[in-house]
Structure 1
Amino acid sequence: MNHLRYAGLPFERQRDILFDIVRNETVIYEPLVTARDFNLPQWRIVAGIIYNTVWNVLTGRPASNGIRDVDLFYYDDSDLSWDAEDRVIKRGEEVFAGSKIPVEIRNQARVHIWYPQKFGQDVEPLRNGDESLTRFSSKTHAVGLRLEADGQLDLCAPFGLDHIFSFQVIPNRALYNEPGYTAKGERAMQVWPELTVEPW
């Protein structure tokens, strides 16, 4: 099995392959359907659940191999309090109660509030939900999907998809996060030894 068989293809072709994988793997498609019904503002399922599923399919591993959780982002700047986000998280726990994989819900409009304390640097408020992907520590991780009401998949991948299909973990130095990037890369290589991880 050639796990790199889709590397280097045009973006549109890789997008179509990604969509086919997502529609055929319940580990990611079911959370997308549930999230669509939950209908948070500017929502997307992002990062690991997407690229990990691709790596599992292309290496012939079980679809849920190495997947710890489902990251569900949304963007609502109408109330930036923790209480407002916590209410959404608690509603989400009920909505996703049947999920086989834990779902972590986070309001991206609040990132600038807690980021300095957690990572030691100030960041500008995000202007929309998709902008959050441009700040991920790895370009490989910067991918998000939404399932629309008409059944179409909507993709946000600011750095493209070739890093995923090439099994490459590439740093994104928009913000300093070398420790987090390195730790994630080391863990990923233990699960998918086919990967190459570019040093920070």
Structure 2
Amino acid sequence: MSEHDERAALARRFVSEALQNPHNADLLGRLPFLGLPDVWLVAGCLFQTVWNLRSGLNPTAHIKDYDLFYFDASDLSEAAEHAVQARVTALFSDLPITVEAKNQARVHLWYERWFGYPYAPLQSARNGIERFLVPCTCVGLQPAADPGVEEPMLYAPYGLEELYAGLLRPNPACPHLPLFQAKAESYRERWPWLTIRAGDMPA
């Protein structure tokens, strides 16, 4: 099997496993009703589902919340983001989960205040996915244009090999090492087979 075929097979496996979490499937099915620009289901609810399956756990175990990224540069106000969150909460109110929506166009306005590091403006929701602290967690799914025929669209800018290997290393695109260390250790508390390589900062 060629390297391209192996990556394609791993991508199909990831999407299939992520959808074994019924909440992920529900969220993707309803996302189009929100009408949000450049909207993605991202991060923890996806890769943690995969780690749960690898660990023999329920697909929904240890998942604290479900994150949506969208990109709307037309209104960078906190009020507009809160209005979107209210719509999100209403749409998914029947599900026993917490769903949080963040406008990636305004992350740079609050990130340093919350986390203590400057953060350059993003250009898209995909750009936000690229900057998670741990490269193997940089994943997002977008609803298929035709759900009856197509799988959701996957964005995994750094591939999926490290996710399945359980390798946690800092992301050079967001090299905030104390934040990385805290995040990685919180993951390993829940999935002890993960490996942390905090000194691994490739150019």
TM-score, normalised with respect to structure 1: 0.90
What is aligned with 2:173? 174
Unaligned 5+ runs, structure 2? none
Question: Shift of residue 127 of structure 1?
Answer: 1.1
Q: Is the 8 A contact 1:28 1:53 kept in 2?
A: no
Task: Report the Cα distance in structure 2 between the residues aligned to 1:165 and 1:175, rounded to whole angstroms.
Answer: 21
The amino acid across from 2:57 in the alignment is R
For residues 175 and 19 of structure 2, what CA distance do their matches in structure 1 show? Answer: 35
Percent of aligned positions that are identical: 34
- Residue 107 of structure 1 pairs with residue 103 of structure 2: yes
Asked if 1:85 is matched to 2:78, the reply is no
Indicate conservation of the 8 Å contact 1:69/1:101, yes or no: yes
Could you give the per-residue CA deviations for residues 150-185 of structure 1, whole angstroms, max 9, x where no partner exists? 013101111011111111112102233222211121
- Offset, 1:52: 0.5
Asked if the contact 2:23–2:95 (Cα under 8 Å) also holds between the matched residues in 1, the reply is: no
Hey, what's the Cα distance between the residues in 1 that align with 2:34 and 2:80? 16
Alignment TM-score, normalising by the size of structure 2: 0.89
Amino acid at match of 1:48: G
Q: What secondary structure is seen at the aligned counterpart in 2 of 1:135?
A: coil
In structure 1, C-alpha distance between the alignment counterparts of 2:71 and 2:123, rounded to whole Å: 9
Does residue 124 of the first structure (1) align with residue 120 of the second (2)? yes
* Structure 1 segment 10-159 matched on structure 2, within 5 A: 10-151=6-147, 152-159=151-158
The question of whether the paired residues in 2 share the 8 Å contact of 1:49 and 1:70 is answered with yes
1:83-117 deviation line (CA, Å, top 9, x unaligned): 11111111111111112210011000001111222
Q: Answer whether contact 2:117 2:176 (CA < 8 A) is retained.
A: no
Moved more, 108-117 or 18-27: 18-27
Q: Report the Cα offset of residue 21 of structure 1.
A: 1.4
- The letter for the 2-side match of 1:106 is K
**Deviation per CA, 1:19-43, whole angstroms, max 9, x where unpaired?**
2213333132112212233231101
The question of whether the paired residues in 1 share the 8 Å contact of 2:39 and 2:125 is answered with yes
Where 1:194 maps in the other structure, the secondary structure is coil
- Number of equivalent positions: 192
Following the alignment from structure 2 to structure 1, what is the Cα–Cα distance between the partners of residues 131 and 145? 28
The answer on 1:196 being equivalent to 2:195 is yes
Structure 1 unaligned spans of 5+: 1-8
Aligned alpha-carbon RMSD (Å): 1.5
Using the alignment, how far apart are the partners of 1:22 and 1:30 within structure 2?
A: 12
Question: Could you tell me how far apart the structure 1 residues matched to 2:184 and 2:111 are?
Answer: 21
**Does the 8 A contact of 1:56 with 1:63 survive in 2?**
yes
SS in 2 for 1:140: helix
Amino acid at match of 2:73: D
